[in-house]
Structure 1
Amino acid sequence: MRTLVLNAGYEPLAVVSFKRAIVLVMNEKATVVERIEGDPVWGSGASVDRPAVIVLTRYVRVPGGRRVPVTRRGVLRRDGHRCGYCGKAAATIDHVLPRSRGGKDTWENLVACCLRCNNVKGDRTPQEMAWELRLTPGAPRGTQWTVRGTDRADPRWEPYLALAA
């Protein structure tokens, strides 16, 4: 069981285990906003409902902007596992501007690509191949990208994640 942690301003911060959430509540660093009924945690003195959503009592300043690191898995997920050139199922990633020509590993230069298109394209640009990208690659946005763990969101979290969007 996982618990959504909200900052004092009700923006999502992270997803933690229910054990960590109970420790935060017991130490009065957070309060429970929503509980999971019917499956309590038993302690030596009492039972406590498992928290589904907690809010911190003090505001936590998150340093810097939340930049999503570029990963192969992230590029495939951003593009829906569909080739950026033909639209078929993609299992690899491709540099729009090839690395041999100075292309970097950035969200704007990487697209999901099927094996066939990746091999045919080789060391050329889409313009040289007379190909068009189906989408404009860019950095992903939204809470499911900036808040760790929300890609497998609990339905109870939806109203709180919608506030941050």
Structure 2
Amino acid sequence: MPHVLVLNASYEPLGVVPLRRALILILNDKAVSLEDSGALMRSATCAIPAPSVVRLKRFVRVPFRGPVPLTRRALFARDGGRCAYCGGAASSVDHVIPRSRGGQHVWDNVVAACRRCNHVKADRHITELGWRLRHQPAPPTGLAWRIIGTGHRDPRWMPYLQPYGADDALARIDGRTPA
């Protein structure tokens, strides 16, 4: 099912919801559609363009949100789905400093890795193997990461996410240095 970007009344990104939830917001007159996906949602009596971006009509006060949660999906988004050691397609999660040696499960110590590199590294330090990281792991920052970290991306969302660091986030995902 397609997903829809939800913006606050101030155009601040709040999150991503399924299309069904976005349609309910529009039909209950709680949100307006800013971008359409091009598809039509039909009922017996009407047809509504399926939204891609919706904005709430009333401002929703959002409490302070801590750091971006460390999830497998967000980790693969941060590393662009590439192995931090060889650059191949990543399929597993690896701790740079193994947990058996005191490493923590935090953004600064977790990277995406291919199955082969993860197996060869096992519970050793990368210095013991003579390996180097392609990039230093760090926690993602900015509101755009909350959206991009969900794994759902739509090009129509970019104009609404750019003021909140989407260009830097996508550059990091694609392996480029942020401009």
TM-score normalized by structure 2? Answer: 0.72
Moved more, 94-103 or 64-73: 64-73
Q: How does 1:131-146 map to 2 (within 5 A)?
A: 131-141=131-141, 145-146=145-146
Query: 8 Å contact 1:15–1:148 — kept in the other structure?
Result: no
Structure 1 residue runs without a partner (length 5+): none
Aligned-pair distance for 1:146?
Answer: 0.1
Q: Deviations over 1:52-79 (max 9, x none)?
A: 3221122112222253322334333322
Q: How does 1:9-158 map to 2 (within 5 A)?
A: 9-36=10-37, 39-42=40-43, 44=45, 46-141=46-141, 145-147=145-147, 151-158=151-158
> What is the number of equivalent residue pairs in this alignment?
164
Q: Deviations over 1:84-113 (max 9, x none)?
A: 223333322221111112111111111222
Task: Indicate the RMSD between aligned Cα atoms, in angstroms.
Answer: 2.8
Query: 8 Å contact 1:144–1:151 — kept in the other structure?
Result: no
Query: Percent of counterpart pairs with the same letter?
Result: 48
TM-score normalized by structure 1? Answer: 0.77
Query: 8 Å contact 1:34–1:51 — kept in the other structure?
Result: yes
Query: 8 Å contact 1:5–1:14 — kept in the other structure?
Result: yes
Q: Quick check: which has more Rg, 1 or 2?
A: 1
Moved more, 53-62 or 148-157: 148-157
In the aligned structure 2, how far is the partner of 1:91 from the partner of 1:47?
Answer: 41
